[in-house]
Amino acid sequence: MDKYAFTPEECGIRIDKYLSEKITSQTRSSLADLIEKGGVTVNGKTVAKNYKLRAGDRIEVTIPDPIPYEAEAEDIPLDIVYEDNDLLVVNKPKGMVVHPAAGNYSGTLVNALLYHCKENLSGINGVLRPGIVHRIDKNTSGLLIVAKNDTAHKGLAEQIKEHSFTREYRAIVVGNLKNDKGSVDAPIGRHHTDRKRMTVTEKNSKNAVTHYEVLERLKGYTYIKCVLETGRTHQIRVHMAYIGHPVSGDDVYGIKKEKTGFEGQCLHAGKIGFVHPVSGEYMEFVSELPDYFEKYLNKLRNKSL
């Protein structure tokens, strides 16, 4: 059980908002649910999530221990671009979650990898994310590297840390970019009220750099290439929205009710390059645009004629 005291300036703040700023390991919605279930008391009594703090309030929070869970192997087809004894490169389809989490305990890439690789996955990221060195979002398609052992995992992770890891994406963004080339250098951190979102902020953030290049200009849209210098959560999506050109179809950072014909953002991890952590050989792999991307691109081209 944790106890919290607050300053006079914080009087009048909703308790779910207050706790979401104090307990960064939980989302605001999960804390609201905890409040509703009686896991939070004020002056020894349960309250509603919209309770507003008053002078002298004593807040106590009891967060239950997480339910133990270990990802299970599932026979799910994988599009494997490359594989050896140390790693594999997978072409992830749009709509597939990378690793199990609340609400997605099956049907993920990790479930498929456990079936394909058996026991041959690095254990650095634990039982829920074995082999996962880096991630791409559920509705982002494209290339992902998986480590089969801890040595490979550490070598790949070090390259990501040093920004020597090549990651190139293709995206369709809303609007007409002013310049043919550019960079977005803006730190990214958790949104201060919505813990599921990321945002450009100076508070509790990490540096983030995205380079972009226009590939084709369309009516109301731009087809671009993005190269990541850093790899923050939702980086391209956040950065493009920040400069006023959100990724088309992005239902979190983009235009609401935009009609694309598919779910989520039009974003594809098309190229990945790295030095093999064991052999020392530089390797590079390319994934062609998937059908959903090609069809949408051709649809916009026809509208631009």
Q: Is 82 exposed, middle or buried (0-12, 13-18, 19+ CB in 10 A)?
A: middle
* Per-residue 3-state assignment (H helix, E strand, C coil) for 99-162: CCECCECCCCHHHHHHHHHCCCCCCCCCCCCCCECCCCCCCCEEEEEEECCHHHHHHHHHHHHC
Residue type, 169: Y
Using only the alpha carbons of the chain, give its radius of gyration.
22
Any alpha helices (H) in the chain, and if so which ranges?
15-22, 28-36, 109-117, 150-161, 235-242, 291-304
- Smallest CA-to-CA distance from 94 within 262, 220, 271, 285 is with 262
Give residue 245's Cα distance to chain centre. 19
Q: What's phi and psi for 189, nearest 5 deg?
A: -150, 180
Residue type, 109: L
3-state secondary structure of 283: strand
Burial annotation 114-137 (CB, 10 A radius, 16+ → b, else e): bebbeebbbebbeeebbbbbbbbb
Active site residues per annotation: 137
